[in-house]
Amino acid sequence: MGMRIIPIKVGNEKWGKSYFVDGAPQLPAVDIPHMMFYIDGAEKKILVDCGGRDPESESGKLHSKTYTRAPEEKPDVALKRATGIDPEEIEIVILTHLHWDHCGNLHMFPNAQVYVQLDEILDSINPIPRFYKTYESFKYGVVPPYAQQPVKWNFVQGDVDFMPGIKLIEIPGHSAGVMGVYVETDKGPYFLGSDAIPLYDNIENGEIKTSALCLSLEKAYYSAVKLNKMVKETGMIVIPGHDQKVLEHKSFPDEE
């Protein structure tokens, strides 16, 4: 059997869609699940992103009061439930970017080599003030998640042929070095869009419009051009980074 992508819910927030989609209404607030993704059937045990820190932690409390995590959504518990795999078995963690809701639980995966774009880690160390909280900056008196414990870092630059059937695609704009993950399956390619493509609403009539929440609108524009070209050339199916409907699937492609 080929590869498949398993979405795993590890928390929830509520936000107006206007944060993510240009022209969308601010109300009502909708569920914005936090997710990590396990790539099943790859050469190694690969997790994409690992969720935010516990809502009750000092760092967790920096964020929206709507941020919650049910006991079964703890990343280690949720991973085991969805895949049967223990966190210590994870060999690779790909971090699409270093915003708090994507990289907070590296301590749960002590044996993993961790991959992130070089541009992302550089910017996360000294972001513009608008993003201090988003990176859980030292400026708030907390230790950023990526600096909390020894991490086996690997820094990549640009687009990378990562492993047979898996590519890392840099799509900056939402953050300095956000990347998506392209995965070839028996049913064609899928693409984890992370926060560059947070909702299905960011895809209108087949055309991707990247997140309204941006560090650089200009870079996001060119990333959208790049993504739309990729969709045309490969037929890849986008899996948004924060859409509730993603969780209606046990895996991509769906099991038969």
Assess 226 for contact with Zn ion (CB under 5 A). Answer: no
Give whichever of 185 and 219 is closer to Zn ion, judged by the CB atom: 219
Rounded to whole angstroms, how far apart are CA atoms 54 and 10? 10
Residue 219 is a binding residue for Zn ion (CB under 5 A): no
Interface with Zn ion includes 120 (CB under 5 A)? no
Among 195, 196, 224, 238, binds Zn ion (CB under 5 A): 195
The verdict on 73 binding Zn ion (CB under 5 A) reads no
- Cα–Cα dist 187/252, whole Å: 9
Do residues 98 and 115 lie in contact, with contact meaning Cβ atoms separated by under 8 Å?
A: no
| Shortest CB 190 distance to Zn ion, Å | 18
Total interface residues for Zn ion by CB under 5 A: 3
Query: For residues 181 and 194, what is the distance between their CA atoms, to the nearest angstrom?
Result: 8
Judged by CB under 5 A, which stretch of 79-87, 122-130, 135-143, 189-197 contacts Zn ion? 189-197
Using CB atoms within 10 A of its CB, is residue 15 exposed (0-12), middle (13-18) or buried (19+)?
A: middle
What does the per-residue mask of binding to Zn ion show for 75-104, with x meaning CB under 5 A?
A: ------------------------x-x---
Is residue 134 a contact partner of residue 123, using CB atoms and an 8 Å limit? no
| Smaller CB separation from Zn ion, 3 or 156 | 156
CB 202 within 8 A of CB 22: no
Choose between 11 and 87: whose C-beta lies nearer to Zn ion: 11
Interface with Zn ion by CB under 5 A: which residues? 99, 101, 195
